[in-house]
Amino acid sequence: MSLLTVSNLQVSYGGIEALKGISFDVEKGQIVTLIGANGAGKSTTLRAISGLVPIKTGAINFDGRDITSLDTSRLVSEGIVMVPEGRRVFANLTVLENLKIGAYLRKDPQEVARTIDYVYERFPRLKERHWQLAGTLSGGEQQMLAVGRALMARPRLLMMDEPSLGLAPLVVRDIFAIIKMLAQEGITILLIEQNANAALRAADSAYVLETGRITLSGTGTELLNNQSVRDAYLGQKRERKRPAQA
């Protein structure tokens, strides 16, 4: 059953068409990834689903309901939560405050405290550093905090915008391990990555986005083995080999 259905989504910035009518599905409990080059429209897709940018045409359905016109606050309370590109933790708030603000719409303090414990269990580093200002954390820790903060809202759909960007290879491995763990716990994941290799390995299904259009789709494995994907995104060009990006 699909949790999220995007149909013919179009988004423009001024005159520039960033999304030219894309359609895709996110099945409940799966990891779905959108891969594509810089500027393809990946972030725009997530920002449109989150209600951060206005939609020109198209429809977005979540759990069988039309959510196209809901504002961001309502979408968060429905369980659509995003980890933005570049982590964007609140540097002027402590680690604990960052977690608490992730639960901004939740009313029951005891349940929020329970979720904080749940997040601390998964990210012990955050517990150790709960009193520190988030701006003083390392990049990897900030990414953990951004994920933990999103979990505080108890997401049903967790959307992540390039969580591995700018992180050391070891940390990237941790991040993907966490993504798989969250999916096993029943959180549906929509993942955006330029690191196509790791994303496709983790994904149940995948879409390729090229300048505002979806050009390919399939299971993660299918796209991993697709020659044009390998040429364009996996750094395995036949004529000129480049080292894969971490």
Ligand X SMILES: Nc1ncnc2c1ncn2[C@@H]1O[C@H](COP(=O)(O)OP(=O)(O)O)[C@@H](O)[C@H]1O
Residues in touch with ligand X (CB under 6 A): 13, 16, 18, 36, 38-44
* Residue 11: CB minimum distance to ligand X, A: 8
Q: Burial level of 152, CB count in 10 A (0-12/13-18/19+)?
A: buried
Shortest separation between residue 72's beta carbon and another protein, angstroms: 5
Instruction: Say how many C-beta atoms besides its own lie within 10 A of residue 227's C-beta.
Output: 9
Calpha distance 166→131 (Å, rounded): 25
The site partner of 36 among ligand X, Mg ion, another protein, none (C-beta below 5 to 8 Å per kind) is ligand X
What is the contact mask toward Mg ion in residues 25 to 44, using x (rule: CB under 5 A)? ------------------x-
48 binds, among ligand X, another protein, Mg ion, none (CB under 5 to 8 A by kind): none
Query: Mapping DSSP to helix (H, G, I), strand (E, B) and coil, where does residue 196 land?
Result: helix
C-beta of residue 82 within 8 angstroms of C-beta of residue 150: yes
List, as one string, the DSSP characters of 3-66.
Answer: EEEEEEEEEEETTEEEEEEEEEEEETT-EEEEE--TTSSHHHHHHHHTTSS--SEEEEEETTEE
Chain positions contacting another protein, by CB under 8 A: 50, 52, 72-73, 76-77, 81-82, 84, 88, 90-93, 97, 100-102, 104-105, 149, 153
Restricting to residues 42-61, name those near Mg ion by CB under 5 A.
Answer: 43
In contact, 162 and 35? CB cutoff 8 Å: no
- How far apart are CB 89 and another protein at their closest, in Å? 8
Nearer to ligand X, 22 or 103 (CB): 22
Q: In angstroms, what is the minimal distance from the CB of 180 to ligand X? A: 23
What residues form DSSP beta bridges with 218? 206
* Minimum separation from the CB atom of position 215 to ligand X (A): 13
Instruction: Kindly tell me which of 21 and 29 has the beta carbon lying closer to ligand X.
Output: 21
